[in-house]
Amino acid sequence: MLRFMLFIWNVLYPLVVVLAAPFWMVKMFRRDGWGSGLLERLGIYERDAEYEKSGAVYLHAVSVGEVLLALKLITKWRETHDAHFILVPTTATGMAVAREKAPRGVRVIYAPLDFGFLIRRVMMRFTPVAVVMVESELWPNLITQTHRMGIPIGVLNARLSPRSGQRLTALKRYVAPFLELLDHVGVPEEEDLKRWQRIGVRPAATVLTGNVKFDPDGAALPRKRAEFGSMLETFPPRPIAMAISTFSGEEEYLDAVFRDAGFQSVIVPRHAERRAEVARALGDHVILRSQFTPPLADETFVIDSTGELCDWTAHADVVVIGKSFLEKGGQNPSEAILAGVPVICGPHMANFEPLVSELIKAGGIQMVNSREELLNALANLPVGQVRAARKVLDKHAGAMLRTIELFSQERPR
């Protein structure tokens, strides 16, 4: 079955690449991806192979969120183990953040396209000791070719939602041949453990590590930066409401509520390249972080940068989670909680269950269902909310170290 499914993938995937190429190129152009080493996606590198350092941990991280998580892992890993790393983003924005923030000695390359011969070429060039896919990014040839070459491969922070679990269970016949090849799957919750095993991952490969994203000991806490503070001090003196990782339509909705509630409105779009769209939606009263000038009146501050969100949250008096009002799924509330800031979200936070339900039950987050409820929540931030939220996160303490230990092991039998 594995050979048949791999054959089907190798027939369909090139067609998808060809058909998607025009849209992909437009997206790369919008995200300033040209000239960033895209030939690496075809396994072509400027550096001669003889100068590559072998024996690295190969971290496959798709975009900005996965890259930042991988960078936290690298920092912690280096504290406890003598290891070196290859960081492998897929998107232009992920690559930009990786190149800017990767510690000295970390090799940063674009992820090769999922063709078998390219994967073999890359693996022979770098001869990694392990391949780690950051969260649930599963590529058939990456899994199969790595396994055939005897390199341990797995997934960290492998959350699987009930909906995705049901969908993959229906497709188990087709996905199980690849999932059976995984050597290590570190999962955040007990429920994830069962779902992965149900769709074909071997029980010996699955380990409950806790959620690396929510590990309060996993990395440096969000911190206030003098540069950010000096910008915010030029705005009128009032509490700061910060909407983070917003999507289209949420910016103007939340901005209006913040203004009505008497807060300084700060908007952090999920994708910085939407800056022009966001500015148009908010009208004339906008100051962009990328083109900062001191405010003249009652402007909204739009943070159109990449990779800075963690430290911006430390400057807020309250954080409101995007993709939870007009979009569905939600975004990660943990960084704001670790910054010591109360958090409000909309009704659509399914991507962060069961964490959000636990936070609601503990009084660690406010979930609102309407504009009126949001206004009321902003006006009545509960005392002790941050402390209650932090207690919920504490159950994930040590997840980073457990994950490192898991991927430092030999391939399970």
Q: DSSP letters along 377-408, please?
A: HHH-PPTTHHHHHHHHHGGGTTHHHHHHHHHT
The model's confidence at residue 220, banded by pLDDT at 50, 70 and 90, is low
Question: What's the mean pLDDT when you consider all of the chain?
Answer: 90
- Residue 308's identity, in one-letter code, is E
- Residues forming a β-bridge with 301: 266, 287
Q: CA-CA distances (angstroms) from residue 62 to 4, 85, 233, 385, 393?
A: 27, 16, 35, 33, 25
CB-based burial, 136-168: b 16+ in 10 Å, e otherwise:
bbbbbbbbbbbbeeebbbbbbbbbbbeeebeeb
Write the pLDDT tens digit of every residue in 35-61.
556 788 888 888 888 888 899 999 999
Q: DSSP letters along 337-373, please?
A: HHTT--EEE-S--GGGTTHHHHHHHHT--EE--SHHH
Write the pLDDT tens digit of every residue in 69-82.
999 999 999 988 88
The larger pLDDT score, comparing residue 162 to residue 37, is at 162
Structure tokens at 326: 């007009």
Radius of gyration of the chain (CA): 22
Percent share of the chain, pLDDT over 70? 95
pLDDT, residue 130, reads 95
**CB half-sphere exposure, 320, CA atoms < 13 A:** 34
**CB half-sphere exposure, 171, CA atoms < 13 A:** 12
Residues 215, 285: contact at Cβ < 8 Å? no
Per-residue DSSP letter, 57: E
Residue 30 confidence (pLDDT) above 70: no
The model's confidence at residue 398, banded by pLDDT at 50, 70 and 90, is very high
Write the pLDDT tens digit of every residue in 172-191.
999 999 999 999 999 998 88
Phi/psi at 370 (nearest 5 deg)?
-155, 170
Q: CA-CA distance, 372 to 221, in Å (whole number)?
A: 33
Residue 150 confidence (pLDDT) above 90: yes
pLDDT, residue 351, reads 85
Lowest mean pLDDT among 19-28, 111-120, 296-305: 19-28
* Domains present along the chain, CATH in parentheses: 29-215+398-407 (3.40.50.11720), 226-396 (3.40.50.2000)
Residues 282, 251: contact at Cβ < 8 Å? yes
Residue 17 confidence (pLDDT) above 60: yes
pTM above 0.85, yes or no: no
pLDDT, residue 365, reads 97
pLDDT, residue 19, reads 85
Q: What is the mean pLDDT of residues 228-234?
A: 96
pLDDT, residue 307, reads 82
pLDDT, residue 251, reads 96
Measured between its terminal Cα atoms, the distance across the chain in Å is 21
Residues 159, 187: contact at Cβ < 8 Å? yes
The model's confidence at residue 410, banded by pLDDT at 50, 70 and 90, is low
